[in-house]
Amino acid sequence: MLTVDFSRFPLAPGDRVLDLGCGAGRHAFECYRRGAQVVALDQNGEEIREVAKWFAAMKEAGEAPEGATATAMEGDALALPFPDESFDVVIISEVMEHIPDDKGVLAEMVRVLKPGGRIAITVPRYGPEKVCWALSDAYHEVEGGHIRIYKADELLAKIREAGLKPYGTHHAHALHSPYWWLKCAFGVDNDKALPVRAYHKLLVWDIMKKPLATRVAEQALNPLIGKSFVAYATKPHLPRVDAK
């Protein structure tokens, strides 16, 4: 299940990509399949080990084209272990809402992104997220949980302040908002509640089968209740300074 829409966020074979806070690796895997040179970075060592196993399995199965590379590594988003201007593309999906120093993370991403490079940022959308917070304290009052809710204009302002130029936005995963509302209403850790189990089965069926009916429904509902807000931006080239 991808949050970044690669039809709006072009990726070329050979592009060097950083998936920052990669989690289980869903975007890193897609970039690898598209021929990129991928670095998946997360502070969770257990998840990174799983991502590394999947990268190896994908290579063994021939899922990635020739020339594509994939590395999984632990790291700190506020102190990235890469030189300036190392990447053509940076993706950070559903991460910034967890980090107190979000401006510091943006500064690090801009530092390692090449001029002319592209960045995709996704966060929980304000409206659906407010509902989750209202229904359940346990949803957000946990270690490593969500510490803020972004309004779209606020996030875009921070992106511009960091020196990036936004060029597009959209919402995603409308069908997932009701699932999380149900989870929050019945208990975040209560997966046995009948409405939660039934809706989860629907989501699994949708992800596996991709039926036209749910695809159309989600496209129609995304502007209204899309669970995620997605922003795309570029790092401008600095004006050329001719030597005197």
DSSP 70-135: EEEEE-BTTB-SS-TT-EEEEEEES-GGG-S-HHHHHHHHHHHEEEEEEEEEEEE-HHHHHHHHHH
Whole-angstrom CA distances from 153 to 31, 61, 100, 225 are 28, 43, 19, 17
pLDDT score for 145: 84
Q: Which three-class secondary structure state does DSSP give residue 196?
A: helix
Q: Which CATH architecture has domain 76-173+226-235?
A: 3-Layer(aba) Sandwich (3.40)
- Parallel, antiparallel, or unpaired for β 113-124 and 87-93? parallel
Could you tell me if 161 and 211 are in contact, meaning their C-beta atoms sit under 8 angstroms apart? no
CB proximity list for 122: less than 8 A, separation 6 or greater: 3, 4, 92, 93, 94, 172, 228, 229, 230, 231
- Parallel, antiparallel, or unpaired for β 69-74 and 165-172? unpaired
Question: Would you kindly state where each structural domain of the chain is located, as residue ranges?
Answer: 76-173+226-235
Distance, CA of 121 to CA of 171 (rounded, Å): 12
pLDDT per residue, tens digit, the chain (244 aa), is: 899 999 999 999 999 999 999 999 999 999 999 999 999 999 999 999 999 999 999 999 999 999 999 999 999 999 999 999 999 999 999 999 999 999 999 999 999 999 999 999 999 999 999 999 999 998 888 777 899 999 999 999 999 999 999 999 999 999 999 999 999 999 998 989 999 999 999 999 999 999 999 999 999 999 999 999 999 999 998 765 554 4
pLDDT score for 227: 97
- Side chain identity at residue 85, one-letter code: E
Distance, CA of 52 to CA of 50 (rounded, Å): 5
Burial class (CB in 10 A: 0-12, 13-18, 19+), 20: buried
pTM of the prediction? 0.94
CB proximity list for 96: less than 8 A, separation 6 or greater: 102, 105, 106, 121, 123, 150, 155
pLDDT score for 142: 79
Distance, CA of 77 to CA of 21 (rounded, Å): 7
pLDDT score for 131: 97
